[in-house]
Structure 1
Amino acid sequence: MFVLKYYWILYIYCTSAGIFSLFLFIHKQCDDAAEWVFYGEFDSAVQKEYDFIVVGAGSAGALVAGRLAEDKKHSVLVVEAGGRPSTLHDIPVTSPMLQLTPYDWQYVTLPQETACLGITNRESRWPRGKVLGGTSRLNYMIYLRGHFTDYDDWGWPRDEVLYYFKKSEHQIGRFEGKTDYHGANGGVYVSDMKYRTRLAKVFLEAAKELHYPEVDLNEMTSSPGVMEPQITSQNGVRWSTDYSMYHIANDAPKLHVLPNSLVEKVLIKDGVEAYGVLIRRSGGVGMVRAKHAVVLSAGTVETPKLLMLSGIGPAHHLSRHKIDVIADLPVGSNLQDHVTTGLDLILLNTSLPFNENTILATPILSYDYFAKGQGLLTHPGCEAVGLFHLSGGDRPDVELMLLPAGLSTDAGTVLRPAMGISDKLWSHYFAPLVGRQVASMLPKLLHPKSRGCLRLRSANPEDPPIINPRYLAHPDDIKTLTSGIRLIEKLINTAAMRGLGAELNPTPMPGCEKFAFNSDQYWECYLRHLTLTAYHPVGTCRMGSDPTDSVVGHDLRVHGIQNLYVIDASIMPSLPSGNTNAAVLMIAEKGADIVRNAVHTSGQVCQLMETFIRPTTTAMS
């Protein structure tokens, strides 16, 4: 009976996934064709020179470009490797289905020595957005600012950080009025979820039993607590900064967007000044000049790759690839990522809306979403979060994310290949749960001590880089994540969770059978087998004052190179205490002001020089 039910669930999910994939394929082909017709040959697609060139149109790049274009005197070119998003990108619940598509760079890490033992080839899958809107088109939309102490460590004043957070937000719902900025031009809408299951309320009640109150975690100074998260959404629809950029473009005729185009190199004059970029598009290559600045906002993976291809990076590594060294900087080092685990860790005896019957209700769900902006399709995947100080420090060290489903919920159709779950792990641990109601309470390591690196695979711009996050290499990371597991155990033993029949999944993790279930040794083995990225890599172009251990200064300009800036997650010296997209938006707002002010200051200096020189010239004439 179970076998028949399993294959029925698998059939309906595979059929639905196939239709979804076919739509994306057709949309991508039409998008590529439309771009070719619209732009024609490369030389007719763009001007020869712009005031600013922004590389990457993700959360940071689209926001930076929009802000720079607000001054209508300035011309701005945005170069994006991907194309336009489809309507399906707007539906929050489709996030995992957009991975492993042409809108995803589909990065894969090196095999991990101390982690990912239950993942195929011990390689972590890293979905990153290759589309206008970037990874914010694939993410789970959770909006958390982090903690003030995170940004103290960066050397950024708290009042500036808070100002730029507020500038990037248009708050609606419970928190409307807590921001000084009302008008999402250039920023994002931040709102309450439109839909959640009963599990969210039960989780909040369980936390309250353990004396963790429901608080606004975006106050950035709060004690440990929980909340239903805010998400980057408006009226149930995903909101990414490319939307805001479009709105500004309607008012800014000098803002040009060039999609489906790969920047191969930043052009640098005399080793000290960036003056343009080399772009490959539809088989053609062309150069575009930047009068004032080149801004790299291609993300934690592509920005360091582009810098190294341009001659900026570790000298010994560049020389190995026969790349002329312009600046010997630690590009690609300091790689960090939020690590998580815990899929399908909780079994329930109560049915939730996320189960095998969900797909059968698609017509009703579609009507609720498209006609009303409501219903299950507006769900971001995660419906409650908590920040906890489990090691006793002054900032959170573990985040819990509550999902009313798990890897087994779709019978392995979408999430399994996206995460690279091995055959052994699937068949022995997840497959027996198909058809059962599961939930996932994911503990996320907020401040890992492990550090990885990113390096070029070759000097070919089309080759993906080598990524080695070195997950769980530091023993303290295991201790902190284990404390997160212990907190989950306490939560499901509360009266609130027992009311749903909650229990830990007793099935031993394959490869960990020799350890007593629920012992510290078992959980360490479990963590090293089911090691998952939380999709938050940062740090590969670290910000700092010392060029020996950082790539950009606190003004986000690359050390020793004029007119070249990095404005994206790669500049983070350390991870924030929360999901990273909010911090990226804050960085983009601050970075845009930095670039604009640098140009304004430069213009004032030129005017002063002219004023000083002109009387002398007049006297001589």
Structure 2
Amino acid sequence: MAVKNGAYFDFIVIGGGTAGNIVAARLAENPHARILVVEAGIGTSKDNEEIRTPGLAMDIRGSKYDWAYKTTMIKRDDYERIEKPNTRGKALGGSSSLNYFSWVPGSKGTFDMWEEYGGKEWTWEPLVPYLRKSVTYHDDAGLYAPELKNIGAGGPIPIAHAELMPEMKPFRELLTKAWKSTGEPVSENIFDGTMRGLVHSVNTIYKGRRSGSFLAVADKPNITIFPESPEYRAAKAANDGLDPFCPYGQPHFELDFIPLFGSAFQWHFPHPNKGSYMTIMVDLVRPVSEGGEVTLNSSDPLQQANINLNYFNNDLDIIAMREGIRFSYDVLKNGEGFKDIVEDEYPWDMPLHDDEAMKRTVLDRSQTSFHPCGTARLAKSIEEGVVNPSLQVHGIKNLRVIDASVIPVIPDCRIQNSVYMVAEKGADAIKRDHADLYH
């Protein structure tokens, strides 16, 4: 959309990402407020089949909708890995247009740790309404506990449990039996501050379509979307056609049990030629290694910054990941039900009983689950962080940062829900400061 010279806006949102669109949509609740959203990527995510089709999520990784940042994953005295891409969404909706859909709130204990940085208002109880404000939960078939409707009602983003495919019922039953046999709980509700147990995932998918923050700004007459701006196109042309800019730093376990069909998922290894198989992902969501860093690569703003995720800088993270892998094997190879049907490993056997070999395996085979955050940290003073509890940049008037970069302590889960929460709370902070527009 062209923006006319001399056009006037009450608010300018730089970046129509997961958080930016929610902020814009909330500010647009006053029909007289004029909001401009500037986005480097496409502005048509709502009608883009590649983005809206969940089954294509892996295909658009590394595509024109992805910033695809080159990152140092691991940098130790004895080991280093540099990889590309580190996916971040470059389209209206940001990473909510490219992510893998998980809707998880995190734990009360972790959010209560935010008090040190933002005060009581940034702890679990006051944040719960914001964690639930952006979404509407759907259980059209009435399969789940009625109280789950409380996790979202009236928000612009529809969410639902992953579809229960009838042909996967034997898999679900065997997995549940194996899990229970280890003494671990099964849970229907991880949304009240305690996250433990085997749970059926809630996703930002509804009726077979991806839900992203682009839905929040659709059909809002007082929001102007300015996608693929001429300034961005000029910067890209000056950088030999390559995307010139870059994001922020990054991240007890999450285990994902994924039954796979045919060629639905191909990443680093080809799928087996025959038979049924599954992939297990062990996620370390509370690392103890020091945070990563983003540093300038040169004085040229078109040069991508240096991004070091700093994974496994502390050996305790390697040990934690090793034990998480061993636990997953215990569930599947010794758990009741599954132990009778697991026949083999692919593409190679895991060296479960050799600590040194497991260390190398963790270093060689680990991948990022994305979700970088925390480089413009929330803090009470300029000496400790970038933004104050109202998300205003310390020392600068009328500038706020409202996105994943303000997160002071990484939530113990995928952070999509947390980013929406930050956006909702940030939008309310703006409204409080503009009582002339928001009564």
TM-score, with length taken from structure 2: 0.85
Q: Is the 8 A contact 2:104 2:191 kept in 1?
A: no
Aligned-residue Cα RMSD (Å) equals 2.9
What residue identity is the alignment partner of 1:190? I
> Does the 8 Å contact 1:115/1:472 carry over to 2?
no
Would the alpha carbon gap of residues 443 and 96 (structure 1) be closer, same or farther in structure 2, given more than 3 Å must change? same
Determine the C-alpha separation between the residues in 2 that align with 1:483 and 1:499: 23
Matches within 5 A, 1:106-117: 106-110=68-72, 112-114=74-76
Q: Rate the CA distance shift 1:111–1:236 in 2: closer, same or farther, 3 A.
A: closer
Deviations 1:486-510 (A, max 9, x none): 211210111221243255558257x
The match for 1:415 among 267, 290, 310 is 267
Take 1:116 and 1:109, find their aligned partners in 2: how far apart are those partners?
18
| Structure 1: distance between partners of 2:218 and 2:264 | 38
Q: Structure 2 vs 1, CA of residues 181 and 461 (structure 1 numbering), >3 Å: closer, same or farther?
A: same
How many percent of aligned residue pairs carry the same amino acid? 27
1:257 aligns with 2:225: yes
* Deviation at residue 59 of structure 1 after TM alignment: 1.2
Match in the other structure for 1:243: 215
The one of 132, 155, 168 equivalent to 1:184 is 155
- Residue type of the partner of 2:376? C
2-structure distance, mates of 1:228, 1:600:
43
2:64 equivalent to 1:102: yes
1:455 maps to 295
Once the two structures are superposed, residues 38-84 of structure 1 have per-residue CA deviations (whole angstroms, 9 ceiling, x without a partner) of 63xxx63x654311111111211111110011112211100000002
Query: Unaligned stretches of 5+ in structure 2?
Result: 116-121, 237-244
| Residues 411 and 431 in structure 1, CA contact (< 8 A), matched pair in contact too | no
Compared CA separation, residues 175 and 165, structure 1 to 2 (3 A): farther
**Equivalent AA in structure 2 for residue 211 of structure 1:** G
- Asked if the contact 1:115–1:529 (Cα under 8 Å) also holds between the matched residues in 2, the reply is no
Matched, 1:280 2:240: no
Give the equivalent residue in structure 2 for 1:588.
Answer: 423
Larger radius of gyration: 1
In the alignment, which residue of structure 2 is the partner of 1:225? 197
CA distance in 1, matches of 2:411, 2:274: 37
Structure 1 residue aligned with 2:163: 194
The answer to whether the aligner puts 1:445 opposite 2:359 as a matched pair is no
SS in structure 2 of the partner of residue 553 of structure 1: coil
| Residue number in structure 1 paired with 2:400 | 565
User: What letter is aligned with 1:494?
Assistant: G
Residues 57 and 223 of structure 1: CA distance in aligned 2, closer, same or farther (over 3 Å): closer
The DSSP-based 3-state class of the residue aligned with 2:218 is helix
Shift of 1:145: 0.4
Q: Please give the per-residue CA displacement for 1:507-566, whole angstroms capped at 9, x wherever unaligned.
A: 257xxxxxx653222221110001200111111111111322311111111111111111
**Using the alignment, how far apart are the partners of 2:235 and 2:312 within structure 1?**
43
Q: TM-score, normalised by structure 1?
A: 0.61
Alignment of 1:59 with 2:18, yes or no, is yes
1:390-409 CA distances to partner (integer Å, 9 max, x unpaired)?
A: xxxxxxx2111112249xx6
2:337 partner SS: helix
Q: Could you say which residue in structure 2 is the equivalent of 1:13?
A: none
* Deviation of the 1:92 alpha carbon: 0.9
1:129 and 1:521 map into 2 onto residues whose CA distance is 37
User: Given that residues 124 and 533 in structure 1 are in contact (C-alpha distance below 8 angstroms), is that contact kept between their aligned partners in structure 2?
Assistant: no
* Alpha-carbon shift at residue 578 of structure 1 (Å): 1.3
**Residue number in structure 1 paired with 2:337:** 496
Instruction: Summarize the alignment of residues 458-497 of structure 1 with structure 2, pairs less than 5 Å apart.
Output: 458-492=298-332, 493-497=334-338
Q: What letter corresponds to residue 486 of structure 1 in structure 2? A: R
1:87 aligns to 2:49 (yes or no)? yes
Change (3 A) 1:481 1:180: closer
Asked whether the 8 Å contact 2:62–2:87 carries over to 1, the reply is yes
Residue in 1 that maps onto 2:372: 537
The AA in structure 2 aligned to 1:125 is P
Match of 1:210 among 182, 196, 205: 182
Aligned-pair CA distance for 1:141: 0.4
Q: Deviations over 1:372-403 (max 9, x none)?
A: xxxxxxxxxxxxxxxxxxxxxxxxx2111112
Q: Would you say the 8 A contact 2:258–2:279 is kept in 1?
A: yes
Q: Structure 1 residues 76 and 302, CA, compared in 2 at 3 Å: closer, same or farther?
A: farther
Displacement of 1:603 in angstroms is: 9.4
CA distance in 2, matches of 1:167, 1:193: 20
Q: Following the alignment from structure 1 to structure 2, what is the Cα–Cα distance between the partners of residues 239 and 116? A: 42
* Matched AA of 1:166: R
Deviation at 1:200, TM superposition (A): 3.5
**Contact kept? 1:544, 1:551, Cα under 8 Å:** yes
Q: 1:163, 1:508 → 2: CA distance?
A: 46
C-alpha displacement of 1:138: 1.2
Matching residue's letter, 2:106 = G
- Per-residue CA deviations over 1:576-611 (Å, capped at 9, x if unaligned) read 12111011111111111011112228999xxxxxxx
Counterparts in 2 of 1:98 and 1:499: CA distance versus 1, 3 Å: same
- How far off is 1:459 after superposition? 3.9
Bigger drift between 98-107 and 593-602 goes to: 593-602
- Aligned with residue 28 of structure 2, among 45, 62, 69: 69
1:180–1:284 Cα change, 3 Å = closer
What is aligned with 2:133?
Answer: 167
**Equivalence map 1:326-345=2 (5 Å):** 335-337=249-251
What amino acid does structure 2 have at the position aligned with 1:172? H
Task: Give distance in 1, aligned partners of 2:402 and 2:335.
Answer: 44
Code of the residue aligned with 1:336 in structure 2: it is: Q
Task: Verify the 8 A CA contact 1:166 1:181 in the aligned structure 2.
Answer: yes
Q: 1:548 to 1:87 in 2, by over 3 A?
A: same
* 1:411–1:405 distance in 2 versus 1, CA, 3 Å: closer
Question: Higher helix proportion, which one?
Answer: 1
Q: Specify the alignment match of 1:19 in structure 2.
A: none
> Cα offset for 1:93?
1.5
Structure 2 CA distance for aligned equivalents of residues 578 and 502 of structure 1: 31
Paired with 2:84 and 2:173, the residues of 1 have a C-alpha distance of: 33
Q: Is the 8 A contact 1:200 1:228 kept in 2?
A: no
Deviations 1:239-282 (A, max 9, x none): 111112104x1xxx321110112xxxxxxxxxxxxxxxxx7155
**Deviation (angstroms), 1:442:** 1.1
- Alpha-carbon distance between aligned partners in 2 of 1:90 and 1:580, rounded to the nearest angstrom: 20
Query: Does the Cα contact within 8 Å between 1:133 and 1:241 map onto a contact in 2?
Result: yes
Say which SS state the counterpart of residue 30 (structure 2) adopts: coil
Give the number of aligned pairs. 412
**Distance in 2 between the 1:111 and 1:576 partners?**
20
Aligned partners of 1:116 and 1:195: how far apart in 2? 45
Question: For structure 1, which runs of at least 5 residues remain unmatched after alignment?
Answer: 1-37, 262-278, 286-300, 305-334, 338-396, 417-429, 510-515, 605-621
1:154 corresponding residue in structure 2: 114
Aligned residue for 1:440, secondary structure, equals strand
